[in-house]
């Protein structure tokens, strides 16, 4: 069975992705990144991502092109993570952000910039990213979900609304509040930048 | 426009989602409001910081593990498929009616559990009231008997009391 192409129940999603493997190949890192942002780099993030794709596979026949495939996957991921939060009855504290960023960790890849050649600049950048990640994690989950989807995953207001199942006006309001909170939390670093 | 309104428009401006008129209103306001101008700069910086965060990548074994798990998972049945489709489309619209239904059910269950208890308490109170009335009647009869005995010569007249009516009987 190894290497065999999986045949999903109906081909609705597969008009753009010929196989389920193709779907996974295209979206696995995006969904994993999204889950990491929401869960503060939980050790379970990869398991949660796997669960997202399993649910997607199971409900492929239910998918219709009302939304884009990525929006659909983000929605499954959002529901899954929020369900997990509810079970935990609190925002997850699995891994402190200060310990979650490890330069030796292959899953944490710094962007390819000229700063990579300068160890001091790289260290400063990594430190800044730690603070940003910490600030994101401090947001209430509803604000965090919206700001991550819009500002980090690049979804439009309408796509975010579909992914989190709320009106566009609510998305804009949450985004405004999330950015306001992030501005306050990161003010020191932004003053340093400017 | 006041600063509060402009600050909300700034977010749309930064996202490139503001209309021409909104952009003009923001530009005019920022030209004379340093606080909002600063807000615009900070908002752009926040968006820039978020966009520059590094990507995450799954481990090399992710795909193999996932496919192994998927092969053990049966696709959802057709019944589940229509339900999933329904849930995806209407989930957030169903939340309010679902809460109302859940609240009504909870109220019904409470009423079902509490009602017999209330009835039982009422019965206990009624029984106690009857007992109090009976005791009061007995006490009153006793007092009447004592009163009758004090007025007549006990050697000549014998008195008795009819407990059913409370009246004093003399011979």
Q: pLDDT of A115-127, one tens digit each?
A: 455 777 777 778 8
Q: pLDDT of A118-163, one tens digit each?
A: 777 777 778 888 889 999 999 999 999 999 999 999 999 999 999 9
With a cut of 50, which residues of chain B have pLDDT below it? Answer: 77-79
Say if residues A34 and A47 touch (Cβ distance below 8 Å).
no
Task: Tell me the percentage of chain A whose pLDDT exceeds 70.
Answer: 71
Q: Is B56 helix (H, G, I), strand (E, B) or coil?
A: strand
**In 3D, which of A6, B116, B28 has the Cα closest to residue B9?**
B28
Q: Give the architecture (CATH level 2) of A16-104+115-193.
A: Orthogonal Bundle (1.10)
What confidence score (pLDDT) does residue B80 get? 53
Of the candidates A9, A29, A61, which has its C-beta nearest B55's C-beta?
A29
Q: Categorise residue B20: left if φ over 0, alpha if ψ from -120 to 50, beta otherwise.
A: alpha
Contact: B58, A46; criterion CB under 8 Å: yes
Place of tokens 């208890």: B117
Provide the residue ranges of all domains of chain A, joining segments of one domain with +.
16-104+115-193
Task: Tell me the shortest Cα–Cα distance from A16 to chain B, in angstroms.
Answer: 19
Q: Residue A84 and residue A82: Cα distance in Å, rounded?
A: 5
| Best residue of A68, A134, A165 to probe chain B, by most B CBs closer than 10 Å | A165
Say if residues A151 and B53 touch (Cβ distance below 8 Å).
no
Q: Is A119 helix (H, G, I), strand (E, B) or coil?
A: helix
What confidence score (pLDDT) does residue B25 get? 93
**In 3D, which of B164, B140, B133, B165 has the Cα closest to residue B148?**
B140
**pLDDT tier at A35 (50, 70, 90 boundaries)?**
very high
Query: Against a cut of 0.90, is the pTM above it?
Result: no
Q: Is residue A102 pLDDT above 60, yes or no? A: no
Residue A96, C-beta contacts closer than 8 angstroms, at least 6 positions apart: none
Q: Is residue A52 pLDDT above 80, yes or no? A: yes
């Amino acid at each position: 069975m190894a290497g065999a192409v999986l045949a999903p129940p109906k081909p609705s999603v597969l008009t753009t992705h010929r196989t389920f493997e193709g779907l996974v190949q295209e979206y696995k890192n995006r969904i994993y990144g999204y889950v990491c942002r929401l869960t503060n780099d939980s050790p379970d993030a990869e398991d949660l991502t796997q669960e997202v794709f399993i649910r997607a596979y199971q409900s492929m026949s239910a998918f219709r092109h009302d939304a884009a495939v990525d929006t659909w996957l983000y929605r499954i991921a959002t529901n899954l993570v929020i369900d997990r939060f509810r079970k935990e009855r609190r925002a997850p504290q699995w891994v402190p952000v200060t310990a979650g960023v490890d330069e030796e960790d292959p899953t944490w890849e710094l962007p390819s910039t000229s700063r990579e050649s300068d160890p001091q600049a790289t260290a400063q950048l990594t430190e800044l990213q730690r603070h940003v990640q910490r600030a994101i994690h401090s947001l209430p989950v509803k604000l965090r979900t919206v700001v991550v989807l819009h500002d980090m995953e690049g979804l439009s207001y309408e796509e975010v609304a579909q992914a989190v199942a709320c009106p566009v006006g609510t998305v804009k309001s949450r985004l405004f509040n999330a950015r306001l909170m992030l501005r306050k939390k990161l003010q020191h670093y932004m003053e340093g930048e400017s | 426009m006041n600063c509060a309104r402009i600050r909300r428009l700034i977010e749309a401006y930064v996202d490139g989602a503001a209309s021409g008129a909104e952009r003009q209103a923001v530009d005019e306001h920022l030209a004379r409001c340093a606080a909002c101008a600063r807000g615009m700069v900070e908002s752009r910086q926040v968006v820039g910081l978020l966009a520059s965060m590094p990507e995450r990548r799954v481990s090399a074994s992710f795909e193999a593990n996932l496919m192994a798990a998927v092969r053990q998972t049966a696709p959802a049945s057709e019944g589940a498929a229509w339900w999933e489709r329904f849930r995806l489309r209407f989930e957030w619209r169903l939340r309010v009616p679902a809460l109302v239904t859940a609240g009504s059910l909870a109220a019904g269950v409470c009423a079902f559990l509490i009602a017999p208890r209330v009835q039982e308490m009422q019965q206990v109170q009624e029984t106690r009231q009857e007992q109090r009335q009976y005791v009061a009647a007995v006490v009153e009869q006793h007092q009447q008997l004592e009163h009758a005995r004090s007025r007549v010569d006990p050697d000549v007249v014998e008195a008795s009391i009819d407990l059913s009516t409370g009246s004093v009987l003399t011979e």
